[in-house]
């Protein structure tokens, strides 16, 4: 495709109000590498990825995109893409190698340098404190199933804010606590790889408690823009049959409402509490906790990828489900094309989701903190990556956001997942989500066609202001 055609594509794309921003997101363990450098301690993802059978092709984040050493080049790439903002996460074990106690200044210095480079390039940093890489030392003491981890998280938040609070304007506590708790402690598909419903329910509550405590710590330290990122998967019943409808209710409860409602209303949904109690996996709520969990936030981070269709089955599925008490429930992609992750392409459900969130949390600004898709992305003979599927996904989902905004959803900005190809957790390096292609043998970065479309969209938006 020629530059003119790319321009035309972006010009035909959705338009956004002034002030709306375009960014890209990453996470520490997925890109940094350099796992044994500058005093970094081990996290649960180091342990998990080095345990045989846990990740595809036994891949690990040991090297990843080598971003720890190449961050200047990566910031230059972001500037070339014309990004307004960059969402990244801090590795807890670079700052506190044992999870608590001793602070490692060399780890903080890396983030100081990264943030300074971003600011010099005119890119606004959005910092996430926890994108799944719990210090192994804390997991050894019970991990998120242990209440003390929530307190340690708030201490860590204060340490990071003390170092970076003067230059980072936007703070996020957790990324996707659903995955940290249910994929990590229930399905065992993510670190720490446990399959224990009771521990999973405890992890849910302690993550949310940690979010509330950290939000308070950040506020006391003077942070003015604090949020939390949740991942939402709309769940619709496969049929109007009562069993399917109830199965969809249960999954929607644990995937979406169990995390959102405590934060915005201070209460867990009653039906979810009943489901978990019946499964012998109660939420370990103590007096006063819910006030902490509901400490007001300034914005809600929304991660959206796809919607699912849910059916009740007569027999257990035999699959490791992340959902508690869901042995006889299956969720699947609706008919239609899927990405290489097997995820559906369902932009219309994104609009519906944003309108639902507008209704549940009126007045709370939203930021799309992740949205994107993985495709084969094989470079052509000329070395270029003509990722037309990603362009379609990107423009379709941006149009869905614009549509929701036109109907009253207060969305302030959009972060594409991801800036560049990276370590896609248990699925390893074969799943490519980047706007920028990474050749892992040479660490060469090549912007894909989608990067050019995104850059032109952002440029047009800037020029229209």
Q: Which residues are catalytic?
A: 176, 370
179 binds ligand FCB (CB under 6 A): yes
Q: Let me know: does 139 contact 192? Beta carbons within 8 Å.
A: yes
Of positions 43, 60, 128, 175, contacts ligand FCB by CB under 6 A: 175
Contacts (Cβ under 8 Å, ≥6 apart) of 349: 234, 306, 307
User: Please, which of residues 250-309 interact with ligand FCB by CB under 6 A?
Assistant: 303
Stretch that binds ligand FCB, among 3-11, 41-49, 99-107, 175-183 (CB under 6 A): 175-183
232 binds ligand FCB (CB under 6 A): no
Q: How far is the CB of 323 from ligand FCB (least distance, A)?
A: 16
Q: Let me know: does 450 contact 391? Beta carbons within 8 Å.
A: yes
Cβ proximity to ligand FCB: between 331 and 424 the closer is 424
User: What are phi and psi for residue 166, nearest 5 degrees?
Assistant: -75, -15
Q: How far is the CB of 198 from ligand FCB (least distance, A)?
A: 24
424 binds ligand FCB (CB under 6 A): yes
Cβ proximity to ligand FCB: between 31 and 294 the closer is 31
27 binds ligand FCB (CB under 6 A): yes
Q: How far from 381 is each of 110, 378, 384, 387, 421, CA to CA, in Å?
A: 37, 10, 7, 14, 20
Cβ proximity to ligand FCB: between 172 and 231 the closer is 231
Q: How far is the CB of 299 from ligand FCB (least distance, A)?
A: 17
Cβ proximity to ligand FCB: between 27 and 329 the closer is 27
433 binds ligand FCB (CB under 6 A): yes
Q: How far is the CB of 83 from ligand FCB (least distance, A)?
A: 18
Size of the residue set binding ligand FCB (CB under 6 A): 12
Cβ proximity to ligand FCB: between 208 and 292 the closer is 208
Burial class (CB within 10 angstroms; exposed 0-12, middle 13-18, buried 19+) of 259: buried
Q: How far is the CB of 29 from ligand FCB (least distance, A)?
A: 9
231 binds ligand FCB (CB under 6 A): yes
Stretch that binds ligand FCB, among 10-18, 162-170, 174-182, 319-327 (CB under 6 A): 174-182
Nearest-5° angle of CA 353, CA 427, CA 199? 70
Binding flags for ligand FCB, 107-126, as an x/- string (CB under 6 A): --------------------
- The alpha carbon torsion through 291, 293, 296, 300 (nearest 10 deg) reads -160
Q: How far is the CB of 322 from ligand FCB (least distance, A)?
A: 12
- What span, in angstroms and rounded, lies between the C-alpha atoms of 446 and 465? 30
User: Please, which of residues 136-165 interact with ligand FCB by CB under 6 A?
Assistant: none
Stretch that binds ligand FCB, among 49-57, 59-67, 171-179, 386-394 (CB under 6 A): 171-179
User: Please, which of residues 298-317 interact with ligand FCB by CB under 6 A?
Assistant: 303
User: Please, which of residues 353-382 interact with ligand FCB by CB under 6 A?
Assistant: 370
Cβ proximity to ligand FCB: between 61 and 107 the closer is 61
User: What are phi and psi for residue 370, nearest 5 degrees?
Assistant: -155, 140
* Orientation angle between helical segments 242-252 and 270-278, nearest 10 degrees: 100
Work out whether strand 124-130 and strand 226-232 pair parallel, antiparallel, or are unpaired.
unpaired
403 binds ligand FCB (CB under 6 A): no
- The alpha carbon torsion through 442, 62, 112, 214 (nearest 10 deg) reads 140
Cβ proximity to ligand FCB: between 59 and 370 the closer is 370
Q: How far is C-alpha 252 from the geometric centre of its chain's CA atoms?
A: 18
Q: How far is the CB of 343 from ligand FCB (least distance, A)?
A: 9
Cβ proximity to ligand FCB: between 45 and 156 the closer is 45
Cβ proximity to ligand FCB: between 30 and 295 the closer is 30
Of positions 21, 268, 417, 429, contacts ligand FCB by CB under 6 A: 417
Q: 64, 162, 152, 63: which is closest to 108 by C-alpha? A: 162
Q: How far is the CB of 243 from ligand FCB (least distance, A)?
A: 29
- What span, in angstroms and rounded, lies between the C-alpha atoms of 408 and 355? 8
Q: How far is the CB of 27 from ligand FCB (least distance, A)?
A: 5
- Can you give the binding site for ligand FCB, defined by CB under 6 A? 27, 30, 175-176, 179, 231, 303, 370, 417, 424-425, 433
């Amino acid at each position: 495709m020629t530059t003119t055609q790319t321009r035309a594509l972006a010009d035909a794309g959705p338009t956004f109000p002034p002030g709306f921003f375009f960014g890209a997101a990453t996470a520490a363990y997925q890109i940094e590498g350099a796992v044994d450098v500058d005093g970094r301690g081990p996290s649960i993802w180091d342990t998990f990825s080095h345990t045989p059978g846990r990740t595809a092709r036994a891949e690990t984040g040991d090297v990843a995109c080598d971003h720890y050493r190449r961050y200047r080049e990566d910031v230059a790439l972001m500037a070339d893409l014309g990004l307004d903002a960059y969402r990244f996460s801090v590795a807890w074990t670079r700052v506190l190698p044992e999870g608590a106690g001793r602070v490692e200044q060399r780890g903080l210095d890396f983030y100081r340098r990264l943030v300074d480079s971003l600011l010099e390039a005119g890119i606004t940093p959005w910092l996430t404190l926890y994108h799944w890489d719990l210090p192994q030392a804390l997991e050894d003491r019970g991990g998120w199933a242990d209440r003390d981890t929530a307190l340690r998280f708030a201490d860590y938040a204060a340490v990071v804010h003390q170092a970076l609070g003067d230059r980072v304007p936007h703070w996020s506590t957790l990324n996707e606590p659903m995955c940290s708790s249910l994929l990590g402690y229930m399905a065992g598909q993510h670190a720490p790889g446990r399959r224990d419903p009771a521990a999973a329910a405890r992890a849910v509550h302690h993550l949310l408690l940690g979010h509330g405590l950290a939000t308070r710590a950040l506020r006391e330290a003077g942070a003015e823009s604090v949020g939390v990122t949740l991942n939402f998967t709309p769940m619709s019943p496969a049929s109007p049959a009562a069993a399917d409808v109830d199965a969809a209710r249960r999954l929607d409860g644990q995937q979406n409402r169990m995390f959102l409602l405590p934060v915005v209303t201070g209460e867990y949904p009653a039906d979810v509490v009943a489901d978990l109690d019946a499964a012998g996996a109660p939420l370990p709520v103590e007096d006063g906790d819910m006030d902490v969990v509901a400490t007001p936030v300034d914005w809600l981070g929304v991660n959206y990828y796809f919607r699912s269709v849910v059916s009740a089955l007569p027999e257990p599925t035999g699959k490791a489900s992340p959902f508690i008490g869901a042995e006889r429930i299956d969720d699947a992609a609706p008919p239609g094309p899927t990405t290489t992750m097997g995820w559906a392409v369902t932009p219309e459900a994104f609009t519906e989701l944003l309108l639902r969130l507008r209704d549940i949390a009126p007045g709370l600004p939203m930021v799309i903190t992740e949205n994107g898709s993985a495709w084969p992305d094989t470079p052509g003979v000329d070395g270029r990556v003509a990722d037309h599927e990603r362009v379609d996904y990107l423009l379709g989902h941006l149009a869905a956001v614009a549509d929701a905004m036109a109907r009253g959803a207060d969305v302030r900005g959009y972060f594409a997942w991801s800036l560049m190809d990276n370590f896609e957790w248990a699925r390893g390096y074969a799943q490519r989500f980047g706007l920028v292609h990474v050749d892992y043998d040479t660490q060469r970065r090549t912007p894909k066609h989608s990067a050019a479309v995104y850059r032109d969209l952002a440029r047009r938006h800037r020029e229209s202001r």
